[in-house]
Amino acid sequence: MNKIAYMDYNATAPILPAATQAIVGALKCVGNPSSVHGMGRKARSLMEDARDNVAALVNVRSDWVFFTSGGTEADTLAIKGSGCERILVSAVEHAAILNASKNVEIIDVDENGLVLLEDLETRLKDDPRSTLVSVMAANNETGVIQPVAEIVEIAHRFAAIVHCDAVQAIGKIEFDMQALGCDLISLSAHKMGGPQGIGALVKRPSIKLQALISGGGQERSLRGGTENLIGIVGFGAASKEKTDFNRIKSLRDMLETQIKGLSDEIVIFGEDVARLPNTSCFALEGLMSERQVMALDLAGIMISAGSACSSGKVKASHVLEAMGVGEEYANNAIRVSLGWDSCEEDIEMFVQAYAKLVARVQEKNSKKSDAA
């Protein structure tokens, strides 16, 4: 079988061996975590050990962690459950945030996708309504890292609650919820090598939320329904693993250096600001995103065009649009995201295949120039 280069970790990461092993062990546990008999207590113990691991990942107490079905549910619970009258979100948020409420108010961003702090402050001034500010830790498409601590400082000055979608950041950069001062954060296991279908909302005890799913009182009555023990155990195991992201960053930088050598017209979005070490989003005018995704797929290379949460659709990125990127680049952007199992061979495969696409564009442009 030909080599496959999987380079779409921001969509979902391959499951870590330690998580697989933990899940297999949990499959043998037949107890319900809410049962009081011996097998139930064993299941409860596995679940609480995992909760401890997830809590340690973001430096909080374990009773701050509430398991959900994933990042989207955690985002929705934070926004709808808060009961706040105003919801301020950045223009580059994931669809899970932008679509969590019909009444979101957009905070502008600059050309790198960074929140304009002065716009946030202006929107918070002289408005007595209860407000939740939701800004992601790092963008899923560009990898750009937001100034979370500064956002929290401004928001708290005006008595607003701060939620941070930390789904893409966790496991890739240090994220200390207490040091940053966030009130609520959302996590998802499958972005960091855990299983799909499990995530968490982490909240300070002082923050009161209304449950969206009522039931038998699970997760301290914040999220009803029997807990997904298998997923939770896998999440906990993945939370303990440490990926060498200095190595991953060197691979990402190698890729960017080599593709820039193919054409001076390739644009790398957010290149001049802090980004996740594994993410590169770039474009070349005349090379449509959909065409690239399909051509690279045929070459055994798995990448994406923006977010993977659009039912398989390839469409222009709202993130790049908010950054002021013109259609000639926004329609041509692709994202490469790396992770724990990435290697130099993946980079070599990508660059060889991408070089052919670039050469076709250059040949086409040359013919147009000659004809003119």
DSSP-derived secondary structure for 17-82:
HHHHHHHHHHHT----TT--SHHHHHHHHHHHHHHHHHHHHTT--GGGEEEESSHHHHHHHHHHHH
AA identity, residue 85: E
Please report, for residues 297, 304, 315, 328, 348, the alpha-carbon distance to residue 265 in angstroms, rounded to integers and kept in the order given: 23, 20, 22, 12, 21
165 pairs with which residues across the strands? 186
Catalytic: which of 29, 164, 281, 309? 309
Sign of CA dihedral 131, 184, 309, 137: positive
Give the C-alpha separation, 176 to 327, whole Å: 37
The CA angle 316-322-325, to the nearest 5 degrees, is 65
**Is 309 known to be catalytic?**
yes
- Are 194 and 238 contacting, i.e. CB atoms less than 8 angstroms apart? yes
In the block, tokens 């955690």 appear at 74
AA identity, residue 296: L
Question: Alpha helix (H) ranges present in the chain?
Answer: 17-27, 38-57, 71-82, 95-98, 117-124, 148-157, 177-180, 229-240, 245-260, 289-298, 318-322, 327-330, 344-371
Q: Are strands 267-268 and 86-90 parallel, antiparallel or unpaired?
A: unpaired
DSSP 8-state secondary structure symbol assigned to residue 146: P
Q: Which helix (H) or strand (E) holds 89?
A: strand 86-90
Give the C-alpha separation, 26 to 303, whole Å: 32
Q: How many CB atoms lie within 10 A of CB 354?
A: 26
The residues carrying an active-site annotation are: 309
